């Protein structure tokens, strides 16, 4: 390094200076600098790269693994299902709870289609197939009953008829049964009879629904490989497809037995107003049990009234008695649903109401079977003169036979009747 100074007269003489061990010469060369003799600083970067960074990375990775494991465990618990060896044979009809949960958006109230005493029904869209379904959540506490129920549900999944709502399958989880049905876009028939005063079905549509339900019941009773007793035939369980065809649904109470064998005794289940009086006494649900309920259904569709009207006067509270009183006075057509106006076929309405009375007879031997009923409805056979069948009000309905008149107008008493008849239900 040169530090030189000049003047007009020539170079200034060189002088040596020493500062803190460094020697400088004015207008000379600095002594050489040996870098190796400089003091060395600690290598902090090297220690961080070799020790600190791997340690931090390991901690982050372990934390991430634990977080994923915890999340997966929660998800698994959320969608946990019970599956036993005996259920494997029903595998094709079993849905994963996870898929049904996603299909119904977590069973949100927004997807709720309806609520009843036996469960809540949700609309769903299956995530893989994109098929619309109706998912019904049913509680079932008995382990043995659960096993029996699942076996029957799997069998019912094989039912195929144009007037039955297809049961696509089931799911079982933590004491719950989820029944998966094909979605019916127009909902239940009772919605058109009661809940929408400005929207109603005309007589042709109602009569087609009646014949469709009769055809479905005939298939269940006689045409399938086993006898199926539905046990809950009513307007709210008749669903309408896109063309307003009637389809009998909700097989949650259905029971099967082989043709020619006796049905077993069960709890009395069903809905007040549709219950066969013989069933309430014996506990045995037979095909005649469904015929009785179908009789109440016929009157319900024809009259636009529920089988039991708690707010009506005592003499008009039971629909079958009310229709019977019109028949005895020779004015049975006055019982027709006023929403129909005069747009109906007189002979068909009269047939439906009289057939409803015949099916509602308290003695099962006096009721026709579903094959005969369908023949009457299709005009292939003439309805017998019911006046010659010794039908009386006491013989028509359980109301008198069970002492219903003694309950007067007390709401509490009416509730106790319903509770006693429906005890043991789902």
Domain ranges of the chain: 81-183, 184-422
Q: Check pLDDT > 80 for residue 163.
A: yes
Report the distance separating Cα 194 and Cα 330, nearest Å: 27
* Residue 251 reports pLDDT greater than 80: no
Model confidence at 412: pLDDT above 50: no
CB 133 within 8 A of CB 183: yes
Residue 226 CB burial class (10 angstroms; 0-12, 13-18, ≥19) = middle
CB 252 within 8 A of CB 231: no
Dist. CA 296–CA 110, nearest whole Å: 33
Choose the weakest-confidence range: 24-38, 56-70, 291-305: 24-38
Q: What is the pLDDT of residue 312?
A: 78
Q: Tell me if 173 sits within 8 A of 95, measured CB to CB.
A: no
Per the CATH hierarchy, to which homologous superfamily does domain 81-183 belong? Phosphorylase Kinase; domain 1 (3.30.200.20)
Looking at CATH, the fold of the domain delimited by 184-422 is given as Transferase(Phosphotransferase); domain 1 (1.10.510)
Residue 315: the pLDDT is 75
15: left (phi over 0), alpha (psi -120 to 50) or beta: beta
Tell me the pLDDT band of 199, cut-offs 50, 70 and 90. confident
Residue 61: its pLDDT value, please? 83
pLDDT at residue 226 tops 80? yes
pLDDT score at 156 = 75
If pLDDT is split at 50, 70 and 90, which confidence band does 102 have? very high
CA distance 168 to 214: 22
Task: Specify the pLDDT at position 408.
Answer: 36
Whole-number pLDDT of residue 310 = 82
Of the residues 204, 232, 316, 337, only one is catalytic, namely 232
Looking at the chain, the whole-number percentage of residues with pLDDT higher than 90 is 35
Chain segment 170-196, per-residue pLDDT in tens: 887 777 788 888 999 999 999 999 877
Q: Would you place residue 116 in the very low, low, confident or very high pLDDT band (cuts 50, 70, 90)?
A: low
Q: What is the pLDDT of residue 401?
A: 37
Q: What is the mean pLDDT of residues 219-227?
A: 92
In sequence order, the 6+-apart residues with CB closer than 8 A to the CB of 232 are 250, 252, 253, 254, 269, 270, 271, 274, 293
Instruction: Tell me, yes or no, if 85 is annotated catalytic.
Output: no
Query: What is the pLDDT at residue 420?
Result: 33
Q: Known binding site for ATP: residues?
A: 136
Computed from CA positions of residues 153, 158, 164, 166, in that sequence, does the dihedral angle turn out positive or negative?
A: positive
Mean pLDDT rounded to a whole number for the chain: 76
Q: What is the pTM of this model?
A: 0.69
Q: For residue 66, report the phi and psi dihedrals to the nearest 5 degrees.
A: -65, -40
Same CATH fold assignment for domains 81-183 and 184-422: no
């Amino acid at each position: 390094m040169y530090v030189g100074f000049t003047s007009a007269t020539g170079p200034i003489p060189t002088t040596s200076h020493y500062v803190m061990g460094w020697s400088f010469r004015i207008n000379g060369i600095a002594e050489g600098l040996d870098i190796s003799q400089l003091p060395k600083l600690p290598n902090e970067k090297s220690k961080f790269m070799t020790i600190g960074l791997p340690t931090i990375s390991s901690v982050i990775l372990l934390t991430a693994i634990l977080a994923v494991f915890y999340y997966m465990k929660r998800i698994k618990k959320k969608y946990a299902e019970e599956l036993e060896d005996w259920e494997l044979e029903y595998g094709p009809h079993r849905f994963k709870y996870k898929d049904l949960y996603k299909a119904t958006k977590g069973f949100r109230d927004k997807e709720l289609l309806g609520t009843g005493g036996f469960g809540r029904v949700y609309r769903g869209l299956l995530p893989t197939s994109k098929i619309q379904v109706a998912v019904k959540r049913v509680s079932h506490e008995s382990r043995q009953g659960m096993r029996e129920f699942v076996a029957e549900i799997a069998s019912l999944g094989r039912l195929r008829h144009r007037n039955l709502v297809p049961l696509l399958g089931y799911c079982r989880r933590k004491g719950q049964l989820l029944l998966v049905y094909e979605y019916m876009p127009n909902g239940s028939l009772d919605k058109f009879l009661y809940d929408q005063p400005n929207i109603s079905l005309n007589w042709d549509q109602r009569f087609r629904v009646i014949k469709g339900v009769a055809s479905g019941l005939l298939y269940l009773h006689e045409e399938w490989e086993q006898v199926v007793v539905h046990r809950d035939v009513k307007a709210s369980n008749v669903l309408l497809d896109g063309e307003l065809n009637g389809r009998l649904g909700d097989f949650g109470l259905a029971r099967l037995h082989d043709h020619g064998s006796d049905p077993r005794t069960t709890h009395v289940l069903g809905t007040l107003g549709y219950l066969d009086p013989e069933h309430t006494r014996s506990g045995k649900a037979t095909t005649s049990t469904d015929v009785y309920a179908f009789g109440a259904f016929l009157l319900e569709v024809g009259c636009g009234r529920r089988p039991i009207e708690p707010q009506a006067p005592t003499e008009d509270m039971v629909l079958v008695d009310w229709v019977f009183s019109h028949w005895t006075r020779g004015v049975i057509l006055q019982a027709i649903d006023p929403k129909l106006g005069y747009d109906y076929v007189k002979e068909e309405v009269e047939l439906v109401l009289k057939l409803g009375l015949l099916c509602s007879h308290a003695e099962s031997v006096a009721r026709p079977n579903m094959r005969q009923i369908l023949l009457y409805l299709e005009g292939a056979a003439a309805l017998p003169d019911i006046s010659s069948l010794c039908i009386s009000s006491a013989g028509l309905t359980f109301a008198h036979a069970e002492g219903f008149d003694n309950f007067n107008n007390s709401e509490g008493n009416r509730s106790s009747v319903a509770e006693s008849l429906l005890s043991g239900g789902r």
